[in-house]
Chain A
Amino acid sequence: MKCRLIDGGASDAYYNMGLDESILECVSAGRSPPTLRFYAWRPPAVSIGYFQGIREEVDLDSCFRDGVDVVRRLTGGGAVYHDAELTYSIIAPESAMPEDILESYRHVCKGLIIGLAELKVKAEFASLNDITSGGRKISGNAQTRRMGCVLQHGTIILSVDVERMFRYLKVPSEKVRDKAVSDVKARVTSVKDVLSRDIPYSKAADAFRKGFSKALRLELTDGRPSPAEDARARELAEAKYSTLEWNSRR
């Protein structure tokens, strides 16, 4: 499949989510080609799943105090603290993806597993939507299907600071905070933890470019958002993803 690659680097949470949706609209309308996108989050952000309650999941006071953005995703799944990671999204017509949703997670995640192998990180798919290394989560993924297209996005954790993560994500009660932190430390890893060295975003992006290209047989062409996609992303960031109405709707 011919596919555009947009490596846009870091943006704020609202633009990031706005651009995923904007590209989805344009791919659906046939105005843009299938697209693979790599990005990061500046400032750091918490994203919550489509069905999650913002007050139950996010310590809003701490986020506000530290300038951490909070955004509701278009996709289900759990709350994620986005900091030192590479995020990807892939947006393509449903006809270009396995029809079965579980199978399509596995299909897209192959790109990540090969990309991780390029970085010398051994990893495997863990249904429904995770990738693990040594039994610990190194990548989380979420998919929606709208307007005849698949949008799957996800994170590859380059480095993780669990204490910092729990400044912004709520635990069920303060009584279990220590246990929640130690549980997550035992369940989550990162590229840095596995390799005992930092991998910069740019090196990770090169590896995942190769990984997706091989696994999904993509003919990648470097590109950027069209002016229309960029304008629509900004509109969605302002009118949807940064609003209380969207973010506090559940």
Chain B
Amino acid sequence: MRGTVVRKIPGGKLLRVSVECDGDVIRRVAINGDFFAHPEEAVESLEKALAGARLPDVRRIVERELAAVKLYGVDGNSLVKAVWEAAG
């Protein structure tokens, strides 16, 4: 199962999330867009942390990985929602 969601975040930037899943297990996630994240590498860490995770755990992982990250133009909730929708 593979899906992509492209979304303009209200008042923010463009977010493009692609997900590959087996059932409710995520194989791969790609988070792209014209947003800003400080530090930038946190987004790659999040993608790695989500690979192999179950969909019900996505929110917890996103919150954990982004706890110390400053995001501009996108937010954790939008990311969680986009991963779910792309997987769905």
Which residues of B have CB within 8 Å of A76? 34-37, 40, 72-73
Size band of the B side of the interface? Answer: 10 to 19
A53 within 8 A of partner (CB): yes
- Contacts A53-B16, A101-B72, A128-B72; A145 near B36 (Cβ below 8 A): no
Which residues of A have CB within 8 Å of B58? none
- Contacts A76-B40, A144-B40, A145-B39; A51 near B34 (Cβ below 8 A): yes
Contact B30 A49 (CB under 8 A): no
B38 within 8 A of partner (CB): yes
Q: Which residues in chain A, 103-138, are within 8 Å of chain B measured between CB atoms?
A: 128-129
Which residues of B have CB within 8 Å of A102? 72
Chain A interface main SS type: loop
Contact A101 B38 (CB under 8 A): yes
Complex Cα spacing A78 to B14, Å: 9
B43 within 8 A of partner (CB): yes
Q: Pick the contact of A128: B6, B31, B37, B73 (CB < 8 A).
A: B73
Chain B interface main SS type: strand
Contact A50 B40 (CB under 8 A): yes
A238 within 8 A of partner (CB): no
A146 within 8 A of partner (CB): yes
Number of A interface residues in the complex (CB < 8 A): 23
Contact A145 B38 (CB under 8 A): yes
- Contacts A51-B43, A53-B16, A101-B72; A78 near B38 (Cβ below 8 A): no
Which residues of B have CB within 8 Å of A143? 36
Contact A51 B39 (CB under 8 A): no
Q: What is the 8 Å Cβ interface bit string for chain A, positions 37-66, against chain B (1 contact, 0 not)?
A: 000000000000111110010000000000
Complex Cα spacing A123 to B13, Å: 22
Contact A51 B72 (CB under 8 A): no
Listed by A's residue number, 7 A-B pairs whose Cβ atoms lie within 8 Å are A49-B34, A51-B31, A51-B34, A53-B32, A75-B36, A128-B73, A142-B36
